[in-house]
């Protein structure tokens, strides 16, 4: 709410400042809160204020709440340690993939199961199916297009992934035994990370990504991360784009 003023009967007349107009279930909630506010009276001296007590400063954004849900509701089990890392990727990527493999990414179906009230449980990227972890990383058209582009970049003739058990394992095409499976695993992880990033841009910033641009971003990001962390870098940017399997990270 941008600001509110009192009417002649000391009730509140809200002035809303929306980034995106409310609809569906959110609209019902808006009607309800309007009704509650219409009977609300300020205390003397106009000292009342609205605050969200989940956060220290009392402020509230959809992003901050989403992050909190992510941390508190979908946090990993105590004792279940994330040991699967690729040493030339940032830890946040490893942690993200580990959580995806454990079905602990805040997709809408999982949030709904945990009692979070949502407008829809459909995929925000394609709207063709429910948003499950498997859908967002494997069956969503955006993910399928991106994986195909990545396979082509690596000159892999493998079939598309069919389930989460096949994903993030670093298994390469048997026709390409020379490919370094650890490097390919890193690419799979970065690709999963970019798919989730695209999903969040769609949800929080209403930006529709495309797989071609996302592949470019993935190539830049992976090159930056891997070249910064690997000991022996012996590939140029142009080689990386043409044949990344030449990237000899182990010397
Ligand atoms: Zn989808």
Same domain, 217 and 93: yes
**Do 108 and 46 fall into the same domain?**
no
Question: pLDDT confidence of 9, banded at 50, 70, 90?
Answer: low
Inside any domain, residue 154:
yes
Mean pLDDT computed over 80-93: 72
Torsion 219-222-228-229 (CA) sign: negative
Model confidence, pTM: 0.69
Residue 123, pLDDT > 60, answer yes
In sequence order, which ranges of the chain are alpha helices (DSSP H)? Answer: 24-38, 62-72, 91-101, 108-113, 133-134, 141-153, 181-205, 211-229, 237-242
Residue 89 and residue 46 share a domain: no
Q: Please tell me which residue, 168 or 234, carries the higher pLDDT value.
A: 168
CA of 161 to the centre of ligand 1 (A): 15
User: Do 29 and 95 belong to one domain?
Assistant: no
pLDDT of the residue at 173: 59
Percent of the chain predicted with pLDDT > 90: 28
pLDDT of 76 strictly over 60: no
Q: Are residues 82 and 194 in the same domain?
A: yes
pLDDT bracket for residue 3 (50, 70, 90): very low
pLDDT for 10: 54
pLDDT at 83 over 60: no
Tell me the range of 148-157, 164-173, 199-208, 213-222 where mean pLDDT is highest. Answer: 213-222
Look at 80 and 22; give whichever has higher pLDDT: 22
- Domain for residue 58, yes or no? no
The pLDDT value recorded for residue 160 is 84
Distance 133 CA to ligand 1 centre (A): 10
Interstrand relation of 3-6 and 12-15 (parallel, antiparallel or unpaired): antiparallel
Q: Is 71 contained in some domain?
A: no
> How many A from CA of 163 to the centre of ligand 1?
15
In this structure, is the dihedral angle defined by the CA atoms of residues 52, 58, 64 and 69, taken in order, positive or negative? negative
Q: Is the pLDDT of residue 22 over 70?
A: yes
Q: Does residue 127 carry a pLDDT above 70?
A: yes
pLDDT of 162: 86
Torsion angle of alpha carbons 99, 103, 106, 110, nearest 10°? Answer: -160
Same-domain check for residues 11 and 133: no
- Domain count for the chain, please give it: 2
27 C-alpha to center of ligand 1: Å?
A: 24
- Specify the pLDDT at position 141: 96
Centre of ligand 1 to C-alpha 179, Å, is 30
> Has residue 56 been placed in a domain?
no
The SS3 of residue 6 is: strand
Claim to verify: residue 37 and residue 89 sit in the same structural domain: no
pLDDT confidence of residue 25: 65
Cα angle, residue 18 at apex, residues 13 and 20 outer, rounded to 5°: 145
Same domain for 42 and 99, yes or no, is: no
> In angstroms, rounded to a whole number, what is the distance separating the alpha carbons of residues 10 and 3?
15
Distance 150 CA to ligand 1 centre (A): 18
What is the reported pLDDT for 79?
46
54 vs 194, higher pLDDT: 194
Q: Residue 15: inside a domain, yes or no?
A: yes
Domain identity same for 35 and 157: no
Range of the domain at 91: 77-246
DSSP codes of every residue in 86-134: -TTS-HHHHHHHHHHHTT-S--HHHHHHTT---S--B-TTT-SSB--HH
Q: Which of 101, 112, 9, 67 is nearest to 204 (CA)?
A: 67
């Amino acid at each position: 709410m941008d600001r509110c003023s009192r009417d002649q009967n000391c009730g509140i007349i809200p002035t809303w400042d929306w980034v995106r107009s409310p609809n569906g279930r959110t609209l019902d909630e808006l009607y309800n809160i309007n009704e509650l506010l219409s009977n609300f009276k300020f205390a003397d001296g106009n000292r009342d204020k609205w605050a969200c007590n989940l956060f220290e400063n009392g402020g509230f954004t959809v992003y901050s709440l989403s992050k909190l849900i992510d941390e508190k509701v979908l946090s990993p089990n105590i004792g279940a340690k994330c040991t699967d890392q690729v040493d030339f990727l940032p830890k946040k990527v490893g942690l993200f993939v580990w959580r995806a493999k454990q079905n602990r990414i805040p997709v809408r179906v999982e949030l709904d199961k945990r009692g979070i009230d949502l407008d829809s449980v459909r995929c925000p990227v394609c709207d063709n199916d429910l948003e499950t972890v498997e859908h967002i990383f494997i069956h969503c058209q955006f993910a399928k297009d991106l994986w195909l582009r990545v396979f082509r970049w690596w000159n892999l003739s493998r079939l598309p992934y069919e389930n989460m058990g096949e994903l993030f394992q670093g298994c390469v095409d048997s026709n390409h035994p020379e490919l370094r499976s650890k490097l390919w695993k890193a690419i799979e992880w970065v690709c999963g990370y970019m798919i989730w990033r695209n999903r969040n841009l769609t949800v929080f910033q209403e930006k529709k990504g495309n797989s071609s641009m996302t592949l470019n971003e993935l190539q830049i990001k992976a090159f930056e991360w891997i070249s910064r962390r690997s000991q022996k870098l012996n590939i140029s940017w142009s080689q990386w784009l043409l044949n990344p399997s030449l990237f000899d990270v182990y010397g």
